[in-house]
Amino acid sequence: MRWPKCVAWTLCAIIASTQLWNAAWTQENQEPALEYVDSKLCKFCHNKPHEGEQYTVWKSKGHSRAFETLFSKRAQKFADERGIQTPPSKTPECVKCHVTGYDVTTRSHPEQLTMEDGVQCGSCHGRGSAHMADGKILRMNKDADIDVLANLLRPDNNLCITCHNPESPPWNPEKFTLESGEKTGFDFEQALKIILHKNPNKARDD
């Protein structure tokens, strides 16, 4: 009676170890998950004055202060009007557009990011971890065979309006005037000019 049991255990062990091995193999061969990166790390490569000092520009505009804004009297007023009982800075329905990567369902934000930094680079350029690696290679050899756009988001109007929309309490449907004279709550071209951080030295077709 003992022998079959022993065989069963051995089989079990073999199956278990194969599964472990399979799991390890899959893990090793999968692309690592993309993560958000703290804007302060982007600063290392994107803050040269002659290249448009993107970090300093971002820091000087509203997006970097978007979390701080939630502590203002005006924020409290918006919350009161909506019958919100918690402080705006602790209210997921407010924080979701004022902090990068905030997840309303888990009520959490990426732990490597500081909430105080508000709407960071990653909100518009995406989860930057793979680009960090690309950037390092490009810094060592600027002619390296790397498609720098492959691991970055190209921000367009569709991305902006995930936050700039009527769900935002200060939404003003007549904020921008188009060339036609028509009014609109968000105009990509005009809004972009306000936050623009282009590299003045880069040759481009536009």
Which region among 1-9, 17-25, 94-102, 107-115 touches ligand HEC (by CB under 6 A)? Answer: 94-102
Judged by beta carbon, residue 6 or residue 140, the one nearer ligand HEC is 140
Stretch that binds ligand HEC, among 8-16, 81-89, 103-111, 176-184 (CB under 6 A): 81-89
Q: Which is nearer to ligand HEC, 110 or 128 (CB)?
A: 128
Backbone angles phi, psi at 20, to 5 degrees: -60, -45
Among 110, 119, 130, 151, binds ligand HEC (CB under 6 A): 119
120 within 8 A of 39, measured Cβ to Cβ? yes
Q: Does 183 bind ligand HEC (CB under 6 A)?
A: no
List residues bridging with 103 in a β-sheet: 108
Closest of 131, 128, 93 to residue 110, by C-alpha: 128
Name the one range near ligand HEC by CB under 6 A: 9-17, 22-30, 106-114, 164-172.
164-172
In Å, what is the CA distance from 114 to each residue of 45, 57, 79, 100, 174?
Answer: 20, 19, 23, 9, 33
